Amino acid sequence: MATISISEARSHVGEEVTLQGWLYNKRSSGKILFLQVRDGSGVLQAVVAEPDNPNLFAVANRLPRETSLRVTGTLREDRRAPIGCEMQLGSLEVIQEPTEDFPIELKEQTPGFLMDHRHLWIRTGSQVPMLRISDATFRAFRTFFYERGFVATEAPILTGASVEGTTTLFELDYFGEKAYLSQSGQLYLEATAMALGRVYWIGPAFRAEKSKTRKHVTEFWIAEAEMAFVDHRANLALQEDLVRHIVESVIKERKDELGQLKRDVDQLLEEVRGPFPRIDYGDAVKLLQEKGHEVSFGDDFGAPEEETLGNHFKKPVFIERFPVGMKPFYMKRDPRDLSRALAADLIAPEGYGEIIGGSQRVDTVDELLRQLDENHLPREPYEWYIDLRKYGSVPHSGFGMGLARVVTWICGAAHIREVIAFPRQINRLYP
């Protein structure tokens, strides 16, 4: 007899199978008992009636939620079941019966309580589909680059210098020296791109910003790519292809999970259909002013501005060519207007905020030294980075994508903390 996962149940209708999982919930009506069994791949209902098997009924009837168990029975089609089939329970083996009541209820609970029990919360409700969609998103990113001949590479997490001097970093002691947790692998990817041509990686990034919003965590996984011989416009084209690829493949692979989340998949598909608008920073400022926002040229856009832009275009939108003062030292200036950087942010629709930041990089020593000076950054920790411009420098571009932000958007989740298994927030380091 086959041991299968619940996601495979549909194709085993009519067979006797064994499932291993946990008791998610239990309902009864008189002499019929319904066990909701979950195994991580889905939830399936096992049914037992008392007259058919009084002993089995009695055992099953007193099991508490989250009992780990093995159930064996015959699968049969049933239109009333959410997944189209259910199990006629034949036998049941308890692996462990919980020693205490499971604290997560299948009712509304407050975020604070749920976050305190994050290790248990992830077993319930929409958390499982969201984590599975997160998996699909990570994989779609890697597949996209693998299929295009990019080389997966690495960047260190422990660093001696910051990527952007302005952002707050987590500082730690490194054998008596100051070290920082990486906030981006970009500078190192620029080096590996000069070795390997076109590279990508997914790794953790840390920001010691005291942000407390639905879009922010202090630790998140960043997906970055860096390409030699690629300019600003080609960079944007690749980002657009990437985002479309991710959304389309996640929808294809995780249709059931998106359905469980009641995500409007048609809207999501429509959002990535056709070219993404590319709007000059200056035009974006004008558009926002017309829509009543109090922004002036040189201001960064906040969450309300990003939401307005997303609602206006109903698609991911590139804001490009920012004033150089707003952007970090490594971005190349637009040769046609040296006050602007060859950079773009990609703003997700529906108010999910910035999902990509990218640019063409400075590729000459003089330019790099000047921009380090203008940003009041010391040259010494960047000597190796400056070296990259000394030995056969080429035009190159890259970008970084916040994977959890993309997952939040795809899921239609209310908060980024829901799509990360153990999110690190300003006031949460446990569990």
Q: Is 363 exposed, middle or buried (0-12, 13-18, 19+ CB in 10 A)?
A: middle
Show Cβ contacts of residue 76 under 8 Å, excluding neighbours closer than 6 positions: 13, 14, 85, 86, 87, 88
Q: What span, in angstroms and rounded, lies between the C-alpha atoms of 55 and 73?
A: 15
3 binds RNA (CB under 7 A): no
243 binds RNA (CB under 7 A): no
Part in contact with RNA (CB under 7 A); list of ranges 195-203, 212-220, 270-278, 376-384: 212-220
112 binds RNA (CB under 7 A): yes
> Smallest distance, Å, CB 176 to RNA?
28
Cβ–Cβ under 8 Å, residues 227 and 221: no
> Smallest distance, Å, CB 338 to RNA?
20
> Smallest distance, Å, CB 38 to RNA?
12
> Smallest distance, Å, CB 33 to RNA?
9
38 binds RNA (CB under 7 A): no
Percent helix, strand, coil in the chain, to 5, is 35, 30, 35
**What token pair was written down for 100?**
């205490």
**Based on CB atoms, which residue is closest to RNA, 197 or 315?**
315
Part in contact with RNA (CB under 7 A); list of ranges 261-269, 283-291, 384-392, 422-430: 422-430
User: Among residue numbers 177 through 196, which ones bind RNA (CB under 7 A)?
Assistant: 184
303 binds RNA (CB under 7 A): yes
Part in contact with RNA (CB under 7 A); list of ranges 99-107, 233-241, 271-279, 384-392: 99-107
42 binds RNA (CB under 7 A): no
Show Cβ contacts of residue 146 under 8 Å, excluding neighbours closer than 6 positions: 152
**Based on CB atoms, which residue is closest to RNA, 275 or 302?**
302
Chain-centre distance for alpha carbon 430: 20
119 binds RNA (CB under 7 A): no
Cβ–Cβ under 8 Å, residues 306 and 316: no
**Based on CB atoms, which residue is closest to RNA, 229 or 294?**
294
The interaxial angle of helices 403-411 and 127-147, nearest 10 deg, is 120
> Smallest distance, Å, CB 277 to RNA?
17
**Based on CB atoms, which residue is closest to RNA, 83 or 394?**
83
> Smallest distance, Å, CB 175 to RNA?
28
CA-derived radius of gyration, the chain: 26
262 binds RNA (CB under 7 A): no
99 binds RNA (CB under 7 A): no
Which of 133, 186, 138 is closest to 162 using CA atoms? Answer: 186
State the Cα torsion 234-235-237-243 to the nearest 10°.
160
107 binds RNA (CB under 7 A): yes
Which of 235, 220, 239, 276 is closest to 144 using CA atoms? Answer: 239
232 binds RNA (CB under 7 A): no
Among 226, 306, 320, 334, binds RNA (CB under 7 A): 306
Among 37, 130, 179, 416, binds RNA (CB under 7 A): 416
The interaxial angle of helices 232-253 and 265-272, nearest 10 deg, is 160
**Based on CB atoms, which residue is closest to RNA, 105 or 387?**
105
345 binds RNA (CB under 7 A): yes
Among 12, 139, 214, 233, binds RNA (CB under 7 A): 214
215 binds RNA (CB under 7 A): yes
**Based on CB atoms, which residue is closest to RNA, 129 or 400?**
400
Question: Binding marks (x or -) toward RNA, 321..340, rule CB under 7 A?
Answer: -----x--------------
37 binds RNA (CB under 7 A): no
How many CB atoms are closer than 10 A to CB 387?
13
Q: What span, in angstroms and rounded, lies between the C-alpha atoms of 127 and 403?
A: 17
Q: What span, in angstroms and rounded, lies between the C-alpha atoms of 12 and 104?
A: 32
User: Among residue numbers 60 through 79, which ones bind RNA (CB under 7 A)?
Assistant: 62, 64-65, 78
**What token pair was written down for 91?**
């036998």
> Smallest distance, Å, CB 369 to RNA?
22
218 binds RNA (CB under 7 A): yes
User: Among residue numbers 352 through 391, which ones bind RNA (CB under 7 A)?
Assistant: 353-357
> Smallest distance, Å, CB 222 to RNA?
6
Concatenated DSSP letters of 128-191 = HHHHHHHHHHHHHHHHHHHHTT-EE----SEESS-SSTTS---EEEETTEEEEE-S-SHHHHHH
DSSP letter (8 states) at residue 349:
T
